[in-house]
Amino acid sequence: MASDSSMNIILVGKRHGKSRAVPINLAVALGVLVFFCGLLAVSVWSGYRLALVDVKAEQPRHSELTAQWQVKLDAQQEELARVRQNLDQQVDALTLRLGEMQGRLLRLDALGQRFVETGVVASDEFDFSQPAAVGGPENGLSGDSYTAPQLTDMIDTLANRIEDREHQLRMLDIVSSQKKLEDELYVEGRPITWGWLSSKYGYRSDPFTGKRTWHNGVDLAGREGSDIISVAGGVVTFADERYGYGNLVEIDHGDGLVTRYAHAKTIKAKVGEVVQKGQVLAAMGSTGRSTGPHVHFEVLENGKSRNPETYIRRANR
């Protein structure tokens, strides 16, 4: 018995609901199936190609957007680099200003310390070796950090105050130096550290002849070898032996004032040396026309002798 290779398709009508069978050969059915599969494959392939074309068309747009964002990013990085460079320059400038101010403050401290050491200001009132004491209660607020412009303004204000203080201290230093120089050159006090007045200024009985003679200075007796000191600052103009004076030191104090220290055992000062008030000039002795260890002290003003006791008593005022 031969097999039937055909198949039936049943069609149902809309009006009367009647059906009828349409016979289809198997080969035809397979052909139709293959045709539809091929059609589907072509549709899928066509869709893929169209999608691929769309993707390729979108790629230039994406690349263009990426390039634009890259340009913006590069510009922002350059701006950030400029800001950082500017900030670094500002920090460097402020650092230089602070270094300069520190140097000026060190000079002010040194000048202030000089005033303390010379007695211009009380040492217990100012201590330039320590920072200024500051303080105060907390107000409960955290506070804000200073901005760069505010910090610059503060530094400028502080620099102006330092400059003003420098000017004032320089003027004070000049006045102090002048006063110190005047005090240094001011002839006063005794030319010995220990001793007594053994002969006054003026007429006296000569210790060798007994006659009434003029004495140009005063004699201050003491222990042999004790210090003979300068009664004021000045320049040594003579330091050697002179007839009648023995070993003599002569000092010019300016303004026509000259002091002499005679009969020394040994001389320590040298001609041309700048001496200070109270500096040791010689050792007391009895050289020259002398009866024992003492210092013959003279004061000359414009070449004329003056009573040394007047200058000695100045120290007691």
Q: Is 217 inside any structural domain?
A: yes
Q: Is 129 inside any structural domain?
A: no
Choose the final residue of a domain: 59, 74, 89. 74
Q: Is 15 inside any structural domain?
A: yes
Q: How far is CA 85 from CA 82, 90, 92, 94, in A?
A: 5, 9, 10, 14
Q: How many residues does the chain have?
A: 317
Q: Which of 262, 269, 264 is nearest to 239 (CA)?
A: 269
Q: Is 144 inside any structural domain?
A: no
pLDDT of residue 1: 40
pLDDT of residue 293: 96
Q: Is 51 inside any structural domain?
A: yes
Domain holding 286: CATH number? 2.70.70.10
Q: Is 67 inside any structural domain?
A: yes
What does pTM read for this prediction? 0.50
pLDDT of residue 92: 72
Q: Is 96 inside any structural domain?
A: no
pLDDT of residue 76: 80
pLDDT of residue 254: 87
Residues in the chain with pLDDT values less than 50? 1-3
- What is the residue range of 66's domain? 9-74
The alpha carbon of residue 5 and the mean position of all alpha carbons in its chain are separated, in whole angstroms, by 114
Choose the final residue of a domain: 74, 95, 130. 74
Secondary structure letter of residue 15 according to DSSP:
S
pLDDT of residue 138: 65
Q: Is 183 inside any structural domain?
A: no
Number of domains in the chain: 2
